[in-house]
């Protein structure tokens, strides 16, 4: 198994969901930063289901309750993201 395939397999469902659905707005400066805020998983579930301002609501047909629970757990325990510009010297 290649290193890339092993790394992909090690990702949690929450991380995969974040990278598939959330990252495009929340790491592009469109939506607020989600990682590193230690918000409870329930907070994310409420916002995802209800929507808030520019963020649309995502129904159960798009993100299941089980996946949403994993996503909330992933975000509530993730460290703050280090922007790419901060790593360039």
Q: Return the active site residues.
A: 54-55
From the CA atom positions of the chain, what is the Rg in Å? 14
Report d(CA 89, CA 85) in Å as an integer: 8
Q: Give yes or no for a contact between 47 and 41, defined as CB atoms under 8 angstroms apart.
A: no
CA 59 and chain centroid, separation: 16
């Amino acid at each position: 198994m290649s290193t890339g395939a092993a790394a992909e397999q090690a990702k949690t469902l929450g991380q995969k969901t974040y990278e598939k659905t959330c990252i495009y707005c929340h790491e592009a400066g469109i939506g607020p930063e989600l990682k590193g805020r230690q918000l409870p998983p329930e907070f994310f579930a409420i916002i995802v289901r209800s929507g808030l301002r520019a963020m649309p609501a995502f129904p159960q047909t798009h993100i299941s309750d089980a996946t949403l629970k994993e996503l909330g757990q992933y975000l509530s325990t993730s460290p703050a993201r280090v922007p790419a510009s901060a790593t360039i010297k």
